[in-house]
Structure 1
Amino acid sequence: MRRLLLSTAAMLAAITPGFAQTAIPDTIVTATRVPTPLERVPAAITVITRQQIEERGYATLAEALAAVPGLRIAPNGGFGQQTSVFLRGNSSRSTLVLLDGVPLNDPSAPNNEFNFGNDLLFDIERIEVLRGPASSLYGAAALGGVVNLVTRRAPADRAFAPYGEAAGGSNATFRGGLGAAGTLGRFDYLASVNNLSTRGSNATAERFVNTLRERDGVSASAATARLGFTPIEGTRIEGLFRYRQNRFGLDSVPRDDPNYTGDDRRWFGQARAETRLFDGAWTTGLRLAYTQDRRAYSNLPDLLSRATTRDLYRGERLTLDWGNVVRLPDLGAARQGALSFGANWSQEEARSLYGSAPFQTRVNAKQDTTAGHLAVQYRLWERLDLTAGLRHDHVGGFEGETTWRVGFVYHVPEFHLRLRAAGGSGFNAPSLFQRFGRTGTTFIGNPNLRPERSLGYEFGAEMDLPAFGRPDFATLGWTFFQSRVRDLIAFNAQFSTLVNVDRANIHGAELVAALRPFPWLTAEAAWTLTSAVDARTQRPLPRRPEHVVSLSARITPIERLVITPQLQFTGRSQEGPFATYLNSGASVSAPRRNKSGTILNLAASYRITPEVTAFLEARNLTDSAFEPVNGFQIPGRTVLAGTRFAF
């Protein structure tokens, strides 16, 4: 695998030195905390815009992220089911999810991970995905990267701008949303509600003999409200509230579980104030944010089992953040400098009770984190962008952790070329369950666990190729990445506690291409190669496929009509022990590989008037029974038709 990756990277480096963005969708904040044009960011960034969300028919966060290079989605069924992300081969707990810059990872989750299977996108304006260690900016859980959800904003030139959508289709599915936003003098506002309900499909693989083919439906609702006030130019005060609740059916492997249901709720609120000082040279802001996750899973007696369980989880996070951006003076050839610095305090609390006696697990604990961060960036000779950042986190109960990141981007405008390199460190703090969880007398958490630590780097290039009179006829690019992770948290030999024993070696390449042969056609391709192995045994880590390929296109054959086909191939991946099942239902404790799978989606939209658009969304057109997680298959073929409006 290493030989293939290195030879591929070398071949691309010889053929074309890289990949330069021709269209900058907006400035990026996630990668540096300073609004920076995408082409100047020394990191691999994917931006999914509101236009792409609508044209490609993305209703959920998992759907939107599926084609991101270097990111692998692993769902245990359809919407509402537990869905993990493996970013550049790192563990599922190594991706930090933000909402407008505020962490969302659930403190009550055993690994403090984020469930990507629960969020709708009606109130989301854009999604920024930062690949690579970002702990120097965001601290714990950003070892593998960051996903930042940016909510919709009110238009500055409209007092009342309503928008909405309504759609229905396969499996008795209904999706609807209604919102309004506007600016009234010094005040601006936004309010929206949305819902998704479906009868769903069977999540347990139908290849199992004992499956009941029982459907796992879901009813999901969400509401968002924002109120902003600008007393003077350069000063803003705002509050944001967001709530969602999902009720859904769950399944087990290798047999269905018809009375297994879940209820997942999240409250989110923040108040923030920001002002500009010294003629705008210094921007300072203060934010107070609170999130609460409440989850309940009930399993009642049925014809397959008389067992009754009710698992309860409650996680809370209170965050106080002070951030600053100072525009630095020019120093000879060094221009457009910026210094960002700030301090952060957060408190996480988890209260959980799950499982059945005598193996019932309890968690009732909290921990505080205090951190400070500093970063600087400059542009030299109008060609070289340099960035460097440092952060120190102190988590109550164990020693502090200092992380760093440096990077550069070198521009060669004569060849529409951009060269990029970066390196840095990351860490994952132990979760509250890992430190303080207790299962009867059989398992006791380890409060002395050390953080998981990583050291990695990446380098790549991007370039536009003109042809046939088009300056951006093609765009080619590649990125090679490598990281070493140590002090991974795992069970001891007796499964009685957790210890820092494991290590992982990860390397890979992200190859991308875009072709624009005609004004009405854009085609894109991404191929991710990943090798993630246990450093001690050299065995592949579970659920990290060596190959993931995505193909997509935007076709406008006639005015007002947009067609967006998407094809995704996921190669074989290793599964862990105790995850393999025979058709008879018996379990096998030896590791095995999951089969590869291909998914074809298609969306089309037609703009009836400037304000009203009709759309059609078809997913899994080939009715594939692909199992991204062994034993759980993706939903079958579905079609949804509807309309959206924005006045």
Structure 2
Amino acid sequence: MRLNHAFRAAPFALALPLLLPTFATAQQAIPETIVTATRIPTEAERVPAAITVLTRQDIEERGYQTLSEALATVPGMNLVQAGGLGQQASIFVRGTASRHVLVLLDGVPVNDPSEPNGAFNFGNELLGDIERIEVVRGPGSSLYGSGAIGGVINLVTRRAPAGVPLQVFGDLAGGSQGTARGALGAAGSLQGWNYLVVGQGLTTQGSDATPRRMNNDTKETESLRAGAGTARFGWAGGSTSVEGLLRWRENRLELDNVPNDDPNYEGNDRRWFGQLRAETGLFDGIWTTGLRAAVTEDRRRYLNLPDSRSSASTDDLYRGQRQTLDWGNRIRLGDLGPFSMAGLAFGVTHEHESVEANSGSPGFRTTTDASANSTALHAGLQARLGPRLDLSAGLRRDSADDYDGFTSWRLGTVLALPEVASRLHASAGTAFKAPSLYQRFGRIGSFFRGNPNLEAEDSFAWEIGAETDLPLFGRSDGATASATYFNTRTNNLINFNRSFSSLENIEKASSQGVELALTARPFRWLDARLGWTITEARDEVTDAPLARRPRNVVSAGARIAPTDRIVISPEVLFTGPSPDTASYDNAGRFISGVNYNKSGTVLNLTASYRVTPAITTYVEGRNLGNSRWEPANGFVTPGRSLLVGTRFVF
């Protein structure tokens, strides 16, 4: 593995937050509770993992419309979207593959089983019903099983406010590119009962996804019609609660091909998600136990009829379903000898996946019709040793019908150093990605058969980092600096065999890097943040750089609040040159080998004005510099846009 100067400087980068504030006072930040990282509600400072939390306030003040927009500036991530709103969007976490990130909705996996590689499309989700987004980077299979090699993203839906019989909230906006957006919801709590109903929609004519550099660009735009609805109803009394959740989301969109525009290529992507959950406390709340049953059903159809530009036709249909049954437990162990604040989480999870898929042209038709079951036992333990050392451990065994299963683990520690207002964290663990049903049982015509004997893709990863509060600008935490070094090795990666007649576990990859962050609070009205992720990801067999993993990604943002009514939130995202193995020249000819997409910079700005305590108006500007950067070769980032709107809560 070749190391650049940034990696050689990694030890200094990690030590820097500790060297600066040798005269600092103890940290005084209000603890934030994280659930996704351990399954036990835990203060963020005690979690031995790199985490990012985006709250409802962040989503609104920064003007995030979709999940892909919200995650674009999260450290350690590279977002690649093939076009504008609603288009296919992939995330590469810490140099791992896009299929190596697991997405949860209220703790339940929602990756589409019918996607050939099991990857999640981040371009689909609207955020009107989302309260917070928890991002945990690093291996998460010891908690959540298959797919969590690069990290876990948990979408937490909005909940009814306590003690309020009726709260009505909404959002209405419109602007350039024929864009209109709206959301309307009601929620409340009364005598132990609670409810939430939210509807949201987005329509836009979109922008041209084909780069102007291409000779055959027709300047055709790709539209999106997206809708979603969420309903929750529940009851809580004492330490017992019962609730049901139903969520629907459907997108109708126009698509584009590379290297040619296509005037009648369209898609429909729909998901139904439902769950029933019950939880109760035993032995005065020492033991909390709960049952959850959930169903996710995905249906995707892509249609393209012959036209003047192409005689080819497409009629692809994918159906995927996942049924989840989970028994989860949390036990507060309290003090155990030299340990304090000890907690144990354990449970059993059973999943059933099924796929019916039919895609591709005649003679090259791809079909999958299969199902599989898996059952997992998992346990996690955490405690504090002495006054400042937190320890955690997780273990999970996944057993499956059609592959050998996998045992994953993770160990972590956090050391508080209040004398220098710092903390050190380190962790290591394994993770895996089960072969998808397509990889095991899919067929392409008469010449390709999936391999039912595939093993799971697996990884070993470790990280070490430091975070420090700096006594600047007249306050003990005037700035916060952090640095985390990560290293991941992935084995048994699935790829085609030499004859392209099936698939085998034949690839290896490695990635390492540094996540650097600085938050400054020089004035009461200003919070500024800067993040820089340096990643080197390579194919261990060929030593070639892995596609769509840029070495440098830099993000900067701020919250400027000159009065208690005004909030201004600028964001800048710079992505360095990115290797790609699917590239096209200006004439639309395919370029073989590894080529580099040029770097790009995108500037966004959102400004909000609180008219009354219940009503806020805002302006959202996207790509204000009108960058023509290509996140994926052949697909340009959406052009400049402006949206004006208002939101309310009564």
**TM-score, normalised to structure 2's length?**
0.98
In structure 2, the partner of 1:601 is: 604
The 3-state SS of whatever aligns with 1:238 is strand
**Aligned counterpart for 2:434 among listed residues 429, 438, 444:** 429
| Rounded Cα–Cα distance in structure 1 between residues aligned with 2:31 and 2:638 | 33
TM-aligned CA deviation for residue 291 of structure 1 = 0.3
Matched, 1:585 2:588: yes
In structure 2, the partner of 1:86 is: 92
**Aligned counterpart for 1:181 among listed residues 176, 187, 197:** 187
Matched, 1:641 2:644: yes
In structure 1, the partner of 2:618 is: 615
Greater mean alpha carbon deviation, residues 23-32 or residues 134-143 = 23-32
TM-aligned CA deviation for residue 398 of structure 1 = 1.8
In structure 2, the partner of 1:250 is: 255
In structure 2, the partner of 1:111 is: 117
In structure 1, the partner of 2:530 is: 525
In structure 2, the partner of 1:195 is: 201
**Aligned counterpart for 1:140 among listed residues 140, 143, 146:** 146
| Rounded Cα–Cα distance in structure 2 between residues aligned with 1:140 and 1:16 | 35
| Rounded Cα–Cα distance in structure 2 between residues aligned with 1:24 and 1:310 | 54
CA-based RMSD: 1.2
- The alpha-carbon distance between structure 1 residues 623 and 534, as it changes in their structure 2 partners (threshold 3 A), is same
- The alpha-carbon distance between structure 1 residues 554 and 25, as it changes in their structure 2 partners (threshold 3 A), is farther
In structure 2, the partner of 1:122 is: 128
TM-aligned CA deviation for residue 329 of structure 1 = 3.2
In structure 2, the partner of 1:11 is: 12
Greater mean alpha carbon deviation, residues 303-312 or residues 443-452 = 303-312
Matched, 1:208 2:214: yes
Matched, 1:553 2:558: yes
| Rounded Cα–Cα distance in structure 1 between residues aligned with 2:327 and 2:447 | 43
Per-residue displacement from partner, 1:17-60 (whole Å, max 9, x unpaired)? 28998645631110000000101000000000000000000010
The 3-state SS of whatever aligns with 1:583 is coil
Matched, 1:626 2:629: yes
In structure 2, the partner of 1:268 is: 273
The 3-state SS of whatever aligns with 1:371 is strand
| Rounded Cα–Cα distance in structure 2 between residues aligned with 1:139 and 1:169 | 42
The 3-state SS of whatever aligns with 1:200 is coil
TM-aligned CA deviation for residue 9 of structure 1 = 2.0
**Aligned counterpart for 1:29 among listed residues 29, 32, 35:** 35
Which amino acid is the alignment partner of residue 198 of structure 1?
A: T
Greater mean alpha carbon deviation, residues 612-621 or residues 299-308 = 299-308
Which amino acid is the alignment partner of residue 289 of structure 1?
A: A
Matched, 1:218 2:224: yes
In structure 2, the partner of 1:360 is: 365
Which amino acid is the alignment partner of residue 569 of structure 1?
A: F
Determine if contact 2:17/2:483 at 8 Å carries over to the other structure.
no
Matched, 1:387 2:388: no
| Rounded Cα–Cα distance in structure 2 between residues aligned with 1:251 and 1:549 | 29
The 3-state SS of whatever aligns with 1:63 is helix
Which amino acid is the alignment partner of residue 122 of structure 2?
A: F
* Runs of 5+ unmatched residues, structure 1: none
Determine if contact 1:546/1:572 at 8 Å carries over to the other structure.
yes
TM-aligned CA deviation for residue 593 of structure 1 = 0.7
In structure 1, the partner of 2:178 is: 172
Per-residue displacement from partner, 1:314-372 (whole Å, max 9, x unpaired)? 00000000000001131233100000000000000010000011000000001101000
| Rounded Cα–Cα distance in structure 1 between residues aligned with 2:64 and 2:471 | 31
Matched, 1:349 2:377: no
Which amino acid is the alignment partner of residue 551 of structure 2?
A: E
Determine if contact 2:163/2:190 at 8 Å carries over to the other structure.
no
Per-residue displacement from partner, 1:350-397 (whole Å, max 9, x unpaired)? 100000110000000011010000110001112010000100001211
Q: How many residues get paired?
A: 644
| Rounded Cα–Cα distance in structure 2 between residues aligned with 1:92 and 1:21 | 37
TM-aligned CA deviation for residue 3 of structure 1 = 4.0
Deviating 4+ runs (over 4 angstroms): 18-22
The 3-state SS of whatever aligns with 2:45 is helix
Which amino acid is the alignment partner of residue 421 of structure 1?
A: A
| Rounded Cα–Cα distance in structure 2 between residues aligned with 1:7 and 1:473 | 29
**Aligned counterpart for 2:547 among listed residues 542, 549, 568:** 542
Per-residue displacement from partner, 1:493-547 (whole Å, max 9, x unpaired)? 1111110000001100100000111001111000000010001111100000000
Which amino acid is the alignment partner of residue 49 of structure 2?
A: A
Per-residue displacement from partner, 1:563-586 (whole Å, max 9, x unpaired)? 01000100111111xx22121122
| Rounded Cα–Cα distance in structure 2 between residues aligned with 1:597 and 1:57 | 21
Determine if contact 1:301/1:307 at 8 Å carries over to the other structure.
yes
Determine if contact 1:325/1:338 at 8 Å carries over to the other structure.
yes
Determine if contact 2:289/2:328 at 8 Å carries over to the other structure.
yes
**Aligned counterpart for 1:563 among listed residues 557, 561, 568:** 568
| Rounded Cα–Cα distance in structure 1 between residues aligned with 2:206 and 2:357 | 28
* Runs of 5+ unmatched residues, structure 2: none
In structure 1, the partner of 2:163 is: 157
The 3-state SS of whatever aligns with 1:541 is coil
Determine if contact 1:24/1:37 at 8 Å carries over to the other structure.
no
**Aligned counterpart for 2:46 among listed residues 17, 40, 46:** 40
| Rounded Cα–Cα distance in structure 2 between residues aligned with 1:188 and 1:294 | 31
**TM-score, normalised to structure 1's length?**
0.98
| Rounded Cα–Cα distance in structure 2 between residues aligned with 1:3 and 1:601 | 31
Determine if contact 1:2/1:507 at 8 Å carries over to the other structure.
no
What is the correspondence of 1:266-415 to structure 2 with a 5 Å cutoff?
A: 266-415=271-420
| Rounded Cα–Cα distance in structure 1 between residues aligned with 2:315 and 2:414 | 52
| Rounded Cα–Cα distance in structure 2 between residues aligned with 1:5 and 1:482 | 14
| Rounded Cα–Cα distance in structure 2 between residues aligned with 1:266 and 1:543 | 28
Q: Report the identity percentage.
A: 55
In structure 1, the partner of 2:60 is: 54
